């Protein structure tokens, strides 16, 4: 078993999951760029895009509590038609992978959208895209209750030059949906299973305004009541 240790006291490293403030958007952008600039599976975003996500409260990061180093990032963006919230730009630094941070980031981004945007009330869905050749995030999304919807070809005029094309010269993404029917599973995980401890004893604190972890737990329980009332 590999355990990430600090050099000071040999305790497992701890992390903080937080909403990245606008004042830290440049820091988040440089982290995003270090990975995206060499990864043909990640949709490129400009510094202005990242600033916009931060200003909307839709940029989530994970930092090491000891050094403050940013090791994880993802954003949530509403599409132009305002019908889908997309979880995008999921990145975990190679030094911090396989501790469960990518899964935690995804689940909390989804919980935050449910709690603060009430997507289904406004007939909106929560989705994500994975490049058809990218295997790394598949377990993360599957374990976060996303289900495969189908393949989508990005029209060439919208396809970023940096992204990998298939043998037919097309940029193709697999689309995944977080179904409303998965809210009870997410809620159960938050209420009964998540205690701030990850794989290998890694510890993570949750700093998500406006109401933190308990606010998210309460909001998900309310969503389940709304679902029952609507049936």
Ligand X SMILES: CC(C)(COP(=O)(O)OP(=O)(O)OC[C@H]1O[C@@H](n2cnc3c(N)ncnc32)[C@H](O)[C@@H]1OP(=O)(O)O)[C@@H](O)C(=O)NCCC(=O)NCCS
128, β-bridge pairs: 176
- Least distance (Å) from ligand X to the CB of residue 51? 20
Inter-residue long-range contacts of 72-77, CB under 8 Å, 24+ positions, other chains counted: 72/15, 72/17, 72/96, 72/101, 72/102, 72/105, 73/20, 73/28, 73/31, 73/32, 73/105, 74/105, 74/106, 74/109, 75/45, 75/50, 76/109, 76/112, 76/113, 77/53
Task: Decide: is 139 part of the binding site for ligand X (CB under 6 A).
Answer: yes
The nearer residue to ligand X, 28 or 90, going by C-beta atoms, is 90
| Interface stretch with ligand X, choices 16-24, 91-99, 145-153, 211-219 (CB under 6 A) | 91-99
Q: Select from 6, 16, 19, 41 the one that contacts ligand X (CB under 6 A).
A: 41
Burial of 14-28, coded b for 16+ CB within 10 Å and e otherwise, reads bbebbbbebebbebb
Interaction between residue 102 and ligand X (CB under 6 A): yes
Single out the segment in contact with ligand X by CB under 6 A; choices: 25-33, 51-59, 98-106, 114-122: 98-106
Among 50, 70, 91, 171, binds ligand X (CB under 6 A): 91
Local structure of residue 183 (DSSP, 8 states): H
Closest to ligand X by CB, 37 or 139: 139
Nearest CA to 171 out of 147, 151, 149 is that of: 151
Tokens 């998965």 locate to 182
Minimum distance between the CB of residue 204 and ligand X, rounded to whole angstroms? 11
Query: Which position among 16, 39, 84, 154 is part of the footprint of ligand X (CB under 6 A)?
Result: 39
**The pair of three-digit structure tokens given for residue 173, joined into one six-digit string:** 């993404």
CB of 41 to ligand X, least distance (A): 5
Closest CA to 181 of 150, 143, 224: 224
Binding of ligand X at residue 31 (CB under 6 A)? no
Q: Which of 29, 53, 85, 99 binds ligand X (CB under 6 A)?
A: 99
Q: Does the protein bind ligand X through residue 42 (CB under 6 A)?
A: yes
State the residues that interact with ligand X by CB under 6 A.
39, 41-42, 90-92, 97-103, 130, 134-137, 139-140
């Amino acid at each position: 078993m590999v355990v990430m240790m600090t050099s000071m006291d040999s305790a497992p490293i701890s992390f903080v999951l937080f909403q990245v403030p606008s004042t830290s958007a440049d820091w988040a952008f440089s982290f995003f760029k270090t990975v995206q600039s060499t990864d043909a599976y990640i949709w490129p975003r400009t510094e202005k895009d990242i600033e916009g996500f931060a200003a909307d409260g839709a940029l989530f990061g994970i930092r090491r509590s000891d050094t403050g180093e940013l090791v994880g990032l993802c954003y949530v963006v509403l599409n132009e038609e305002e019908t889908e919230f997309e979880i995008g730009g999921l990145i975990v630094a190679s030094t911090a992978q396989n501790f469960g941070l990518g899964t935690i980031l995804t689940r909390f981004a989804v919980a935050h959208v449910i709690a603060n945007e009430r997507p289904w009330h406004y007939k909106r869905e929560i989705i994500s895209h994975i490049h058809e050749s990218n295997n790394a995030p598949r377990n993360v999304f599957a374990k976060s209750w996303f289900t495969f919807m189908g393949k989508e070809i990005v029209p060439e005029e919208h396809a970023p030059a940096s992204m990998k094309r298939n043998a037919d010269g097309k940029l193709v993404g697999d689309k995944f949906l977080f179904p409303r029917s998965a809210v009870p599973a997410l809620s159960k995980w938050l209420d009964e299973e998540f205690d701030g401890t990850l794989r290998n004893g890694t510890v993570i604190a949750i700093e998500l305004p406006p109401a933190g972890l308990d606010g998210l737990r309460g909001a998900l329980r309310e969503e389940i009541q709304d679902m029952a009332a609507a049936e």
